[in-house]
Structure 1
């Protein structure tokens, strides 16, 4: 089982995204449907306004991640419980942010439950960012992954770095204990995964310090392994997006029915999402798709393969009043 289904029946895509923290209503969930079988042009739903809003936790929803649970037929949307508007206080967000994630569920992608907040990070975590989930056959469960800065105690005046954390779940209501999944001794965030036959590809923002090359590590790293728990992932594409983007984060990766792999990279604080593609294995050479038309201002989200029927249902749905605040 995978969060990416490569069946030819899935010939459209649903993009979940948010806008930046300088917009009062930016940090809420928006949807767009691809205009065809490749995620190169999009129709934003609800006139580009939020389709889901958080009224719990910090009252903001960033980094939305969509998955289809084939065991239950339920769609799950995960998001970061964070609102930076209007203070722009990133120091607070890192040191004293939420330890929970936001969860919505749906049977049809149109009618969603109210959001609920689940605490997943340990007490020493200063933040809980960019939750995603991947099915692990070895563990027989979904593995939630996110980034947290872990502090030594209540005094958080000293700095620390982001690690990738993980916790198991069967139902996105109850989660097992958090564990450190990836600790590199420096910031690593935004882990995402894609299967390609027996291979697992892991995408992340690995801000490794390279004194002789200040631009290194500010883009997307792609590694190949054999499973979620493989301890020896090997880098296969380094700094994807460099040369086209000043910096990148929030990788959203998927596979189209024709076998092309697509990767969205968020040029955060600047131009937002840009689309990259590769015809070979996901660890190969990624090229910018310069004529891609993405929703205006789209940032750090996820790509879900959907059917034409699901796309039509989304496009014709009666979404919330776009002027509702």
Structure 2
């Protein structure tokens, strides 16, 4: 989460200099078949970077971008930008939520506006399988806080003592007319309604605190059941035996050269095959994205180590403030099948070869001069309705597919229904006008094909030479 203007104009800090002074052995996984880890994150500023991205790791240190580095969800509510996401699993593993800051930095918002008159809501998505997500909604978490100016960096943890989630976030409630972010909390079971917000963490004087994340400890490790890491000028560690109880200061990471002026967005990960943890930190000052520090006892600051350069790899996209989920085998199988490595393609018209299929305001047509437009890029996925078929997923509107309705085409979000799947599924066959090209036959109306008419995409029977040309396309990059 961005701090004040001085931090947003971040001076380059040579955090990388620390890498050479510490080492970390490459971890050995307990078994090759062990499921891995899923990271949810955003990548940077602007309307594209401030969306939801996923990365997968087999060992917790080497990350691969899913969906070819493209976002997997796009916010359509509030500011239409999302940052600082948390991925929350229900205790029974039958439901998931994404909660995120409703902020699109650099999309028209100003520094002062975001800090002093920002969104008081967070953005929420819900899923039952980790791959099909609801439409997002706004949850107003800070509206009831007197003089609360925004709501940033939400997190949530299940509290067995109260049988619900503790939802916590940062809100600016100015002190003596000056900015001061503090951590508030509320309780919830469904991320639709919450209890009255209460102060959770408030540092003395003018010290702000924006980012904090809690990890639960297994029995026998350290002296506390929970450890939290917070960005409050340092990366401060605290311990407690109760989420809503008293927390004890344990120290910070300044001893290994990491302070809140260099890193933010603490993100915990437990290695599944051993009692070792990674605390990922976002190198906002050097614009370096996440780096890990590791420890065998999160409650003991002296046990933290920065890995040597080359012992971890964050993938292609920059990873910024998010969260990591230890996957089950079933979850991993679903996630990797849903977002495989699939290149972005375009569909070129056979008889108007300077035109390509594109969406505009969710309508679909063929247009000129779209070679650099993401509106003309699609990922050809396995068909939603049947094997041996294809479906076309938008690159810049992930989860939205080309779908026919009343024989007209639109770009529509997949609602998970059987009808949607059938309407968005096609058989790729030899081109009706040229067998070296392709035509696309409707799955549920096999007498009809995708074709353009007056530059609009339609689903029509093909009976003439003109129709065959209109229904022929080249899949190209």
Fold in common (TM above 0.5): yes
Does residue 145 in structure 1 map to residue 168 in structure 2? yes
Q: 1:169 to 1:24 in 2, by over 3 A?
A: closer
Matched-pair contact (CA < 8 Å) for 1:248–1:265: yes
* Distance in 1 between residues matched to 2:211 and 2:188, nearest whole Å: 19
Q: 1:249 to 1:170 in 2, by over 3 A?
A: same
**Counterpart of 1:5?**
none
* Distance in 1 between residues matched to 2:101 and 2:325, nearest whole Å: 18
* Distance in 2 between residues matched to 1:137 and 1:150, nearest whole Å: 30
**Counterpart of 1:69?**
90
The answer to which structure, 1 or 2, has the higher relative contact order (CA under 8 A, 6+ apart) is 1
1:316 aligned counterpart, secondary structure = helix
1:315 aligned counterpart, secondary structure = helix
**Counterpart of 1:130?**
153
* Distance in 2 between residues matched to 1:169 and 1:305, nearest whole Å: 23
1:288 aligned counterpart, secondary structure = coil
Task: Give 5+ residue unaligned stretches, structure 1.
Answer: 1-7, 208-216
**Counterpart of 2:304?**
286
Matched-pair contact (CA < 8 Å) for 1:225–1:234: no
Q: Residue 159 of structure 1 is aligned with which of 170, 175, 178?
A: 178
**Counterpart of 1:200?**
226
1:199-278 correspondence to structure 2 within 5 Å:
199-207=225-233, 217=234, 220-239=235-254, 242=257, 247-257=262-272, 258-269=274-285, 270-278=287-295
Matched-pair contact (CA < 8 Å) for 1:261–1:282: no
Matched-pair contact (CA < 8 Å) for 2:154–2:167: yes
Q: 1:241 to 1:175 in 2, by over 3 A?
A: farther
1:102 aligned counterpart, secondary structure = strand
**Counterpart of 2:395?**
322
Structure number, greater radius of gyration: 2
**Counterpart of 1:18?**
42
User: How far does residue 281 in structure 1 lie from its aligned partner after superposition?
Assistant: 4.1
* Distance in 2 between residues matched to 1:70 and 1:268, nearest whole Å: 33
1:66 aligned counterpart, secondary structure = strand
* Distance in 2 between residues matched to 1:149 and 1:10, nearest whole Å: 42
* Distance in 1 between residues matched to 2:253 and 2:64, nearest whole Å: 32
Q: 1:276 to 1:55 in 2, by over 3 A?
A: same
Q: 1:40 to 1:174 in 2, by over 3 A?
A: same
User: How far does residue 51 in structure 1 lie from its aligned partner after superposition?
Assistant: 0.4
Matched-pair contact (CA < 8 Å) for 1:223–1:283: no
User: How far does residue 245 in structure 1 lie from its aligned partner after superposition?
Assistant: 9.3
Name the TM-score, length of structure 1 as normaliser.
Answer: 0.85
Report the aligned-residue RMSD: 2.4
User: How far does residue 40 in structure 1 lie from its aligned partner after superposition?
Assistant: 0.7
**Counterpart of 1:83?**
104
Q: Residue 180 of structure 1 is aligned with which of 186, 191, 199?
A: 199
1:314 aligned counterpart, secondary structure = helix
2:210 aligned counterpart, secondary structure = strand
Matched-pair contact (CA < 8 Å) for 2:236–2:249: no
Q: 1:262 to 1:79 in 2, by over 3 A?
A: same
Q: Deviations over 1:206-241 (max 9, x none)?
A: 12xxxxxxxxx3xx1111121112224222434376
Alignment length (residue pairs): 300
Matched-pair contact (CA < 8 Å) for 2:47–2:104: no
* Distance in 1 between residues matched to 2:102 and 2:34, nearest whole Å: 30
Q: Residue 121 of structure 2 is aligned with which of 100, 105, 126?
A: 100
